[in-house]
Structure 1
Amino acid sequence: MQTDSSFTFVLFGGTGDLSMRKILPALFEAHRAGGMLAASGKIVAVARHVADRGGYLEWVDTHVKPYVSKNGLDETAWASFLERIEFVKLDLGNPEDFALLRDAVSDLPGIRVFYLATGPSLFVPICRALASVGLNENARIVLEKPLGYDLKSSNAINDAVGEIFAEEQIYRIDHYLGKEPVQNLLALRFGNALFEPLWRREWVESIQITIAEELGVEARGDFYDNTGALRDMVQNHLLQLLSIVAMEPPHSMDSDSVRDEKLRVLRALKPIDQRDISKVAVRGQYHSGVIRGATVPAYATEPGVKPESTTETFVALKVEIENWRWAGVPFFLRTGKRLADRVAEIVVNFRPVPHSALGASALRAGANRLVIRLQPNETIRLYCLAKQPGEGMNLASVHLDLAFDRFFREGQMEAYQRLLLDVINGRLALFVRRDEQEAAWRWVEPILNEWAASNKPPKPYASGTWGPAAASAMLAQHGTCWLEEEN
């Protein structure tokens, strides 16, 4: 993925955790690869916690290096990367300071990319300040999640940003869409004749999408206690993955063709009647427990969390899509903190054969499935039945690994690296369009409203487990179970 596109990449929140862990390491990897970033491209970091460029480069050297040196650091590449970086000390609360930014970038080449690695409350003030000094022309703006607290606040942000930047200038980022297995899912479905005929209600029994974390809220208690898992993970990451899995084949891979098909899925989600929410939605909150031999605290005792908090740290949902392809197929979504393992995966359970001459084992649930692992190890596995060696026709589950690293010399590209290159090169397909975001909020809101009105607290679960028992019971009602329970 080589480019001659010159650019000026302006990073707001230049000393923040996201910049240190993800954004700058991704830009460095693209720089080190050679040819992915135009030689003339510049990175302009914006922050107020350091005094000058020298101080900022020291900060980067300390805080970014641990995330780029796991496999050994190329010091020559690192030194040349630092040469790309400029710095502007700027108080985001003072619009007059943006004249300093204008002066710093006015002579720099290429398209301007403004990456807002800040809290959402700063999105509109930053955009207005950029417009006040004429920096909204020949520019792209990248917005991190969460974009709003609900549909109303999301629309307010989108309306305000939309007055300054056109929709084709706005890149709403969801890093799960940049992961290699998600891209390979599209390739498997739409590039091969094998899977697409099976990708429908006649052959698929159920689909599970899980994003599980071992970590708690860490230092984000203040933010998380006003957000919760439904807003933080379901409204964006999980529903975006769902739309990728369930979408119809687009006529091409251009940005609007792909996003049109995702939007059709989001609009086809069966509305959840508030009277049925308790049957199809489980919310939980972690209590103290043991993870990898260490005792961890309960959510209510985490720094920044109110002791009486009813914020959910776990959500499990049963979702239905009301269209011809998926009618009657349950999609089970799950996310949570302080769970038994860190894993993100999509599990497609195919229906068993209608009749087996090989015995009952060929009819068992889960004999045929596709597992797309997004993290920690990005793989795709196809599970099927095979005869065990020896006497008799005894069947056992085996899997075929789609090990892309064996076929391609190039290493897998990290999600942020792919997405940042797409921004620089003007590719919108992997970014969320406004109407997608509105459709997701509109579907989620009845659950948010019901939980807010309810006096029932979230169901407790011990840290280090897979969440409340009610999440397993919900699947049991449909004759299935979560993948780890079967194993």
Structure 2
Amino acid sequence: MTDTTTPSAPDGAANPLRDPRDRRLPLIAGPSSMVMFGVTGDLAKKKLLPAIYDLTHRGLLPPSFGLVGYGRRDWSDEDFAQYVKESVSAHTRTGFDESVFEQLRGGLRFVEGTFDDSAAFEKLTEVVGELDRTRGTGGNHAFYLSIPPAAFPQVCSQLAESGLNTAQDGSWRRVVIEKPFGHDLASARELNDVVEQVFRPEDVFRIDHYLGKETVQNILALRFSNQLFEPIWNASYVDHVQITMAEDIGIGSRAGYYDGIGTARDVIQNHLLQLLALTAMEEPISFEAADLRAEKEKVLSAVQLPDDLAAHTARGQYVGGWQGGTEVRSYLEEDGIEEDSTTETFAAMRLDIATRRWAGVPFYLRAGKRLGRRVTEIAVVFKRAPFLPFRSTDTADLGQNAIVIRVQPDEGVTMRFGSKVPGTQMEVRDVTMDFAYGMNFTEESPEAYERLILDMLLGDPPLFPRQKEVELSWQILDPVIEFWAEHLDPAPYRPGTWGPETAHEMLARDGRTWRRP
């Protein structure tokens, strides 16, 4: 029987034991385990643990995979197994199967302790060693820091003192970091220094879960595998680009994290700027990590802020009102929010890219909570055709052509173009051609965390931003945040709308309007 396991090279290089051209077999992680800090948090409960179970269910983790939870709970291994079972039962994508869970259960361990408890880290060292002996994990261990960045120095120091960060010959140790990667450029550099004192740069995996979404990866396929799109993907044909990330919910129970951070730091610095980079980058030599990252970094290096930040950025905060038939509170009335907080729940800005491809094409980014609906999309809006053969009345109802990449929730691509209305008159109106993942592929798209966790275990880094990308993103955003703090308080907007009037005025100054998704 052919062995389909795929052990990864310790330095994250391409695995010599498999031919990347062979698509018949899925990539399967080799012997390994994961130690998860923050395992009792919402992210682990709703996303990380279900993703690990779904990977097991799909046969993409080795049967001997180990998962170690680290936390303050007074739990036995059996208590932890019950917690994992409840989490995956409630949130699994692939459906709960008792036999699959029993396979995963064999590798579940729990270590009780705080981040400053050296004895607990000694116990963790023993548990990791026990997994090597009894489960055959081969010294390959990943440490997932699903914890606040302020705790990184302490945890990294403990990992170093206990020797858990050091791999033996032929094995690997990796660390996974969740956003936010700092709160500005200086803190991002400090955070990186802390982590890279303990782990090699190539062993640090920064997770931006948006990069694991199928539709985000499809941007590259759409652009570079189709002659239909790439020749017109430039300033000669494109009028502007809109990137939107809207949520129809408030901050919920995230006041402790969100207040003082705000929408710009929370999602524009990472998610939206990554989407901009993928949309605007040049064709890479290959899709290997170094080539892909190099092109994204070129784009981020070329991003320019407008001279007048007051006119070309907008900042908002939702007030109370009605949304979807339910009365909702204002941001300032949410639990844990100070009554004089100036944290924005909506942010928008214009960015320009100083390259030959995009000269003169504005990129408009917006994100917010309590907006009209939950949607993330990239809209490439094209310049108007000359309409020379048509009378003005023939094309009165015709808008601009657009390609809209829908990232969530209904993943797909829509093309908007003009078509003649049936009848004896020449009348042209907008029509749409729609591609939806759910209607064209029988396999359901995996959750982003499934793809990213598997890639990390395989040592495959293209979907993980490296430190230079993080720093370039902060260099773009920091001047905006500083300007807002001194000159621009958030404007109010009602729940269920598309942000404050200042955001609409921002585009109106350029003779444009926001799309209504």
TM-score by length of 1: 0.95
Task: Give the secondary-structure state (helix, strand or coil) at the position aligned to 1:141.
Answer: strand
Could you say which residue in structure 1 is the equivalent of 2:230? 196
Name the amino acid aligned to 2:335.
Answer: P
For residues 68-108 of structure 1, the C-alpha deviation after alignment (integer angstroms, 9 at most, x for no partner) is 16x75333323333333222222113233211111101242
The offset of 1:365, in angstroms, is 6.8
Identity of aligned residues (%): 41
- Looking at structure 2, the residues matched to 158 and 365 of structure 1 have their Cα atoms a distance apart, in angstroms, of 50
Which residue pairs with 2:84 in the alignment?
60
Indicate conservation of the 8 Å contact 2:399/2:430, yes or no: no
List aligned pairs for 1:5-404, cutoff 5 A: 5-34=30-59, 36-68=60-92, 72-107=95-130, 108=132, 109-110=137-138, 111-137=140-166, 138-273=172-307, 276-360=308-392, 362=395, 366-404=399-437
List aligned pairs for 1:420-435, cutoff 5 A.
420-435=453-468
Q: Structure 2: how far apart are the matches of 1:427 and 1:405?
A: 27
CA distances 1:164-196 after superposition (whole Å, capped 9, x unpaired) = 111111111101111111111100111111111
SS of the residue aligned with 1:402?
Answer: strand
Separation of aligned partners in 2, 1:247 and 1:85: 42
Taking the aligned partners of 1:193 and 1:297, their CA distance within structure 2 comes to: 49
Name the CA distance, whole Å, in 2 between partners of 1:222 and 1:32: 35
Q: Distance in 1 between matches of 2:440 and 2:256?
A: 46
Pairwise CA distance, 1:45: 1.4
Amino acid at match of 2:358: W
Question: Contact between 2:185 and 2:471, CA under 8 Å: does it hold in 1?
Answer: yes
C-alpha change, 1:366 and 1:246, in structure 2 (3 Å) is farther
Distance across 2 between alignment mates of 1:19 and 1:195: 39
Find the residue that maps to 2:174 and give its secondary structure: strand
Deviation at 1:227, TM superposition (A): 0.7
Runs of 4 or more, structure 1, over 6 Å off, are none
Pick which of 132-141 and 399-408 moved more.
Answer: 399-408
Instruction: Please give the per-residue CA displacement for 1:408-431, whole angstroms capped at 9, x wherever unaligned.
Output: 332212111111111011111111
Instruction: Please identify, of 110-119 and 352-361, the stretch whose mean Cα deviation from structure 2 is larger.
Output: 352-361
One-letter amino acid of the structure 2 residue matched with residue 332 of structure 1: Y
Give 3-state SS (helix, strand or coil) of 1:106's partner: helix
- Structure 1: how far apart are the matches of 2:469 and 2:459? 19
Q: CA–CA distance in 2 between the matches of 1:407 and 1:263?
A: 33
Instruction: Name which of 478, 483, 486 aligns with 2:515.
Output: 483
SS where residue 403 of structure 2 aligns? strand
Distance 1:26 1:233 in 2: 22
Offset, 1:117: 0.7
Task: Tell me how far 1:146 sits from its aligned partner.
Answer: 0.7
CA separation of 1:50 and 1:338: change in aligned 2, threshold 3 A: farther
1:233-269 alpha-carbon deviations (Å, 9 max, x no partner): 1111111111111011000000010011111111101
2-structure distance, mates of 1:247, 1:212: 24
Q: Is the 8 Å Cα contact of residues 356 and 362 (structure 1) preserved in structure 2?
A: no
Kept in 2, the 8 Å contact 1:174–1:431? The answer is yes
Q: Deviations over 1:4-49 (max 9, x none)?
A: 5111111111111000111111111111112x11222211111212
Question: Residue deviations 1:332-385, cap 9 Å, x none?
Answer: 100011111111111110112123424445587743111111111111111111
Residue 143 of structure 1 aligns with an amino acid whose one-letter code is: I
Letter in 1 for 2:181: L
Q: How many angstroms apart in 2 are the aligned matches of 1:50 and 1:384? A: 61
Q: What amino acid does structure 1 have at the position aligned with 2:300?
A: L
1:144 and 1:388, CA in 2 relative to 1: closer, same or farther beyond 3 A? same
Which residue does 2:17 correspond to in 1? none
Letter in 1 for 2:73: H
SS in 2 for 1:182: helix
Aligned CA RMSD, in angstroms, stands at 1.7
SS of residue in 2 equivalent to 1:483:
coil
Whether contact under 8 Å (2:29, 2:458) holds in the other structure is no
Report the Cα distance in structure 2 between the residues aligned to 1:363 and 1:163, rounded to whole angstroms. Answer: 62
* TM-score after normalising by structure 2: 0.89
Q: Distance in 2 between matches of 1:400 and 1:203?
A: 20
Which structure 1 residue ranges, 5 or more long, are not aligned? none
Deviation at 1:463, TM superposition (A): 1.6
CA contact 2:411–2:436 (8 Å) conserved in 1: no
Once residues 205 and 373 of structure 1 are traced to their aligned partners in structure 2, the CA distance between those partners, rounded to angstroms, is: 19
Aligned match of 2:450 in 409, 417, 437?
417
CA distance in 2, matches of 1:42, 1:365: 58
**Residues 1:362 and 1:30: Cα distance change in structure 2 (over 3 Å):** farther
Q: How many residues align?
A: 480
**Which one of 456, 472, 480 corresponds to residue 439 of structure 1?**
472
